Amino acid sequence: MKVGIVVPFSWSYWGGVNEHAFHQARALEKLGIETRTIIGHDPPGRFTSVLHPRAGRHDRPPADVIPIGRSVIVPANSSLSNIVLSPSAIVRVRRLLRSEQFDLIHLHEPMTPATCVASLVWARCPIVATHHAAGALGWLGPAMPMWGFLMSRIDYRIAVSEQAMLSAQRYIPGDYDIIPNGVQIPAAYDAGGRGPRIVFIGRHDPRKGLEVLLRAWPEIHRRTGARLRVIGADPLAVGLLLARIRVHEPSIDVLGFVSEEELTAEVATAQLLVAPSLGQESFGMVLTRAFASATPVVASDIPGYRAVMTDETGVLVPPGDVAALAAAVSALSADEPRRRALGEAARRLAIERYSWDDIGRRLATVYEGLVAAARAAA
pLDDT in tens, 325-339: 999 999 999 999 999
Question: Does the pLDDT value for residue 368 go beyond 90?
Answer: yes
Taking Cα atoms as reference points, which of 239, 232, 242 lies closest to residue 202?
A: 232
- Provide the sign of the torsion angle of the four alpha carbons 112, 356, 299, 255, taken in this order: negative
Q: Which CATH superfamily is domain 197-353 in?
A: Glycogen Phosphorylase B; (3.40.50.2000)
Residues 6+ apart with CB under 8 A from 368: 1
Phi, psi of 43 (to 5 degrees): -70, 160
Question: Does this chain's domain 2-182+355-377 share its CATH topology with 197-353?
Answer: yes
Instruction: Give the pLDDT confidence of 260-302 residue by residue, as tens digits.
Output: 899 999 999 999 999 999 988 888 899 999 999 999 999 999 9
The Cα–Cα gap between 97 and 76 comes to 28
pLDDT digit string, tens, across residues 194-225:
999 999 999 888 899 999 999 999 999 999 99
Strands (E) across the chain are located at 2-10, 34-40, 65-67, 72-76, 79-83, 104-108, 127-131, 156-159, 177-178, 197-201, 227-231, 252-256, 272-275, 297-300, 314-317
Per-residue pLDDT band for 55 (boundaries 50, 70, 90) equals low
Domain extents in the chain: 2-182+355-377, 197-353
CATH 3.40.50.2000 fits 2-182+355-377, yes or no: yes
| Neighbouring-strand partners of residue 5 | 37, 106
What mean pLDDT value characterizes the chain?
A: 93
Write down the pTM of the prediction.
0.87
* Cα gap 212→302, rounded to integer Å: 15
Whether 154 and 6 have beta carbons less than 8 Å apart is answered as no
> Residue 54 carries which side chain, given as an amino acid letter?
R
Per-residue confidence (pLDDT) for residue 159, from 0 to 100 = 97
